[in-house]
Structure formats: C-alpha cells, structure tokens
Amino acid sequence: MSHRIIKGVAAAAALGLGVGALAGCTADSSDDSGKPTEITMLVLGDKPTNGRLEAMLDKLNDKLVEQANAKLDLFYVEWADWQTQYNLQLLSGDDNVDLITTATDWLYAWENADKGAFLPLTEDMLKENAPKTWAQVDADGDWDLTKLDDQIMFIPEDNYTQYTNHGFFYRGDWATEAGFANGEITKFEDFTKYFEWIKANKPDAYPWDVAGAANGEAALTGYLQGNTDWGTLQGVSAGNYAPFQISASDPYTVTSWYMDSDELVEAAELAKEWNDLGVWREDALNYDGDTREEFYAGLSGTDQHHTQTFIGQIVNNMTTKQPGSDPKMFYWGQENGNVFKDIKTHGAMAVSANSKNPEKALQVYDLIRNDEEDYDLLNFGIEGTDYVLTDDGKLTYPEGYDSSTDSLGSNFWAGRMDEFEYTKLTDAPNKDEIYASLDEVAKDYPYSTLIVDKSAIDPTLAAIGGVLSEYIPQLEYGKFDDPAAAVAEMRQKLKDVGFDDARASIQSDLDTWAEDHQVD
C-alpha cells in the first residue's frame, strides 16, 4: 500500500498535519467512561443479508472503541420508495440516528436543512471533534458550499473523484447485430432501432426491463438532456421531482422543461412509441423486481444508472456473466455535450438535529473518513474475505466472489477520499479513457452556492410535486394515448397550483445571487 501512504503523507503535509497524525487517533477519548457510545449512520440502499456487513462492523467497532469509545451501526433507507421514506425519516424526530448521508443534488440537503433536520455545526465543534476533516475541507476552501444562513449544515465529500451522470448500459454485441457500427449508439432516439432488433431476435428478453419506482425519469430526461442545452437547477425539489432548469444560452433565467419545452412532448411521444413496441413490461410502473440481475442474465437488453456503476459493476459483471456481450454506456447529453461534472456536495454528511451525541458522532465520522484502517474496513471490508490485494497494491476479490450476492453493501457515500481508494482489477479496463472523454466535455455546475429560500413556496412546491407525480410516470412509460394533450393538461394544472409564483420567487433569489456571481 506504499502508493497510498505516500499520497496520504503528501495530503497531511499540505494540511499542516504531522505524518504521525495519519496513523494516530482523531478523537481523544480520555474523558470517556462507561460503555461505548452507539452512533448510528443513515445510508441509502438495500441492507445486505449475507453477514459480511456485520462481520466488518465487528472488526471496525473493536477499533472505534479503542479510538473513541464508540461503536457504529448503519440504518438503511432502502430503494423501494426511497425518496419518500428518506424525507420522512429525517423529519420524524427520531433520535436514534446520529449521522445522515445527504446531498444537495439528489438527497434534498438544502430542503432538509431548512426544515431543521440537521444540526448546525460550528467551527469550534468541527475543529475539536473532526480536526482532520476540518483541515482538509478548509484547505480546499469548500466550507462555503455547505452554509445556510452562514451556518455549516453538513460536511462535503469534496476529495473524491467520480462521475455520476446517468445513461443507458447496453450490449455492444446486440447493437452490432442491430446495425450500429462497432456497437456504438450515439443518440437517445436511436435506441428505438436497438429495441426493435431485440424484440425481433431475443424473444426471452425485454429490450429494456424497467422497475418503474426505481427508474427516476430516465425515459424523459435522457431525451431532454440530449436535445436541449438546459441543466437542472439543483436543490429545488417538488416532491420527487426537480422541475426547474436553466439554459446555457440564458444562464440567469429560470425555466422548466415540464412547462416550457417542446422537447417534453417529443420525449413523451417517443416513450409512447417504446411502450407500444413492448420495450418494457406492461406493468413497468408497478414492477419492483431486480432488473439489473435480468440484464446480467441476458433477459434485458438495457439498464440505466450512472458512470460509476458502469465502471465499477456493469463491465465486470457483464463480461463475466454474458461473455462477449461487449457492455457499453450511452450517457444522457452525449449528443450535444450537455453533461456536468459532479458537484462537491453530491455526497455529504450531516449530523441529525435530534442526535443525543453529536460530538461523538463527529469523532466517529472523522475516523471513518481519515483513518486508513477504519476507512478500509468500512468501504472494502475484511481483507482476505471481502477483498484481496495484489502484490502491486490493486484490489481484487476472492475466487468465486459474486458482487450480486457477496458485496459488503456499506454504502459510505459521504466521506470517501481519493488517497485511500484502491485501483480495482474489476474496474472497466478503459476507466481512464471514460473519465478523459467526460472531462473533455463536462461542465462545472455554476450554481453550487445559490440557495433558494423556499419558506414561502413550500406549499406550492408540494402541490407541484403532486401534479407531477400524477403525470410524469404515465408520460415516461407511454401510458397516455395522446401525450401532447396530457402535457397540456398537466401544464394547466401546474399553473393552477401556482407554478408561475414559485418560479418568480426562485428567479428573485437567482437575481440576487447573480449580483455577486458570474456564470462562465
């Protein structure tokens, strides 16, 4: 692990920390007495049932007791109806959760901070209880990304490289047979041809098997992103939807593809064409099966998620389970370069406002983020059981390992650090090429410090979310006989519940922000 130690020493030097701090304890537990404090961290995902998580936590907690007289447990918000369940849990007043995985672009961080779900963190509190984390984030100048009314509301995962832009995973071998040169599909609507070939030639497979509740709005947003220059305004959700966008050509005006774009009708008409073709199962809206496993089994021609999933899971699994399948990814916005880099608060950690032990929670977080042994256990598991290191320090897995059944599943997505990450033998062999191609076109999201005051429009946003939940799933899966009429009806209902008033309020916040900020 010499390559990681060298990187860690360099990072410590940059932060003014002694080399000894790399191996030392973050928390001073000399004043602790009695039994260890139980700290619970909320994570997203389906809780594993293979026993590996519990075995890892046993070992990790032995260390945490020595370091901070504390133990860590994980509370899972599972993927079924996760958006609703996540927000309900945060606002329930439950004092059994201490640390909360959050994000400003997909986990409603600003909304939940504004509603009082998170404990404001003072500089002194952070410096005393999470000194390594404080020093690294401060050195990178990223605390301003986490402030609401000048108070730090969460800690950013700002030292981890990833791309979480979504797109289709598909089979290059089938795409080649469908007539695409080198198996490369380069436009969203060209998937129609691919789907038609699968329908005609692979009768046991769905062209795109979909579990509706877990699929977001992929059948719409994939088209919209590639056929406009619009980007979604983060941190302003309406229920499970993000209804406000800003275009690159007019970066100071709030718009909405739900309300203003002709492309929404085009996307909905394409979705109807796919539904009529039988691209997904008839009950896709209510189906909750594991469609990724269907993809691995050759029973679905397409899956959708983000680049990290493709690099870290899809390529290896498809290459192993469907030899010769030549897995490929088409990302939303590939046609026109309309793709953004991850923001530094795509992953973040908050302390629950109801935590009984916020200082201890920060001490534990500082350890699992910055202590290499703790980090390895939480993220990778037990060496020799969950993973194996090669002689040159690369991470691989024991013989017979199957990520579908054997994964650790700790889902620590709010404190990963580049210097502690291994190169994995199971990563896509062209990982660097994929990153480089995205780096060439991906834009920085320019509105990270824009915070919208939703206090006056929360009831309106809730009403907007209600209208969208009535129409968007049906539009996405082509269930309306006349998509254009359905969109017109939806837009009238959105106007009726105050959409224009909400937009005007957000526009006012953007105007104020723009007085001191320039969009490149």
Q: How far apart are CA 187 and CA 338, in angstroms?
A: 13
356 within a domain of the structure (yes/no): yes
- Measured in whole angstroms, the distance separating CA 188 from the mean position of its chain's CA atoms is 22
pLDDT at 4: 41
Q: Cα separation of 442 and 56, whole Å?
A: 37
CA 134 to chain centre: 23
Residue 252 lies in a domain: no
The enclosing H or E element of 77 equals strand 70-77
Cα(443)–Cα(341) distance, integer angstroms:
6
In 237-301, beta strands by DSSP E: 245-247, 250-255
Cα–Cα distance list, 54 to 70, 378, 381 (Å): 16, 11, 10
Q: Is 423 part of a structural domain of the chain?
A: yes
pLDDT at 116: 95
Q: How confident is the model at residue 2 (pLDDT cuts 50, 70, 90)?
A: very low
Condensed to tens digits (0 to 9), the pLDDT of residues 257-298 reads 999 999 999 999 999 999 999 999 999 999 989 999 999 999
More confident: 439 or 216: 439
**CA-wise closest residue to 417 among 160, 226, 107:** 160
As a whole number of angstroms, the distance between CA 14 and CA 124 comes to: 21
Per-residue pLDDT at 80: 85
Tell me the mean pLDDT in the region 200-211. 97
* Domain total in the chain: 1
Answer whether residue 87 is part of any domain: yes
**pLDDT at position 1:** 38
Which residue segment(s) compose the domain that 154 sits in? 37-161+343-439
pLDDT tens, position by position, 433-482:
999 999 999 999 999 889 888 888 999 999 999 999 999 999 999 999 99
Can you read off the two tokens belonging to residue 339?
């793709």
Structure tokens given for 362: 């920060």
Looking at residue 441, its pLDDT comes to: 96
How far apart are the C-alpha atoms of 79 and 77, rounded to whole Å? Answer: 7
Task: Of 42, 45, 79, 53, give the one whose Cα is nearest residue 407.
Answer: 53
Q: What are 316-347's pLDDT values in tens digits? A: 999 999 999 999 999 999 999 999 999 999 99
pLDDT of residue 22: 32
pTM comes to: 0.81
Locate 218 and state its tokens: 């992929």
Q: Is residue 11 part of a domain?
A: no
**Structure confidence at residue 138 (pLDDT):** 98
Pairing of strands 37-44, 99-102: parallel
Q: Which of 24-28, 173-177, 391-395 has the highest mean pLDDT?
A: 173-177
**In-domain check, residue 518:** no
Residues 413 and 332: their CA atoms lie apart, in Å, by 23
Single out the residue of 318, 283, 289 nearest to residue 302, CA to CA. 318
Is the pLDDT at 5 greater than 70, yes or no? no
pLDDT of residue 32: 52
Element (H, E) at 304: strand 302-306
Question: How high does pLDDT run on average in the chain?
Answer: 92
Q: Is residue 256 part of a domain?
A: no
Considering only residues 275 and 6, tell me which one the structure prediction assigns the higher pLDDT: 275
- Of the ranges 9-13, 106-110, 350-354, 378-382, which one carries the lowest mean pLDDT score? 9-13
CATH number assigned to the domain comprising residue 368:
3.40.190.10
Residue 20: band (very low, low, confident or very high) from pLDDT cuts 50, 70, 90: very low
In a domain, 57, yes or no: yes
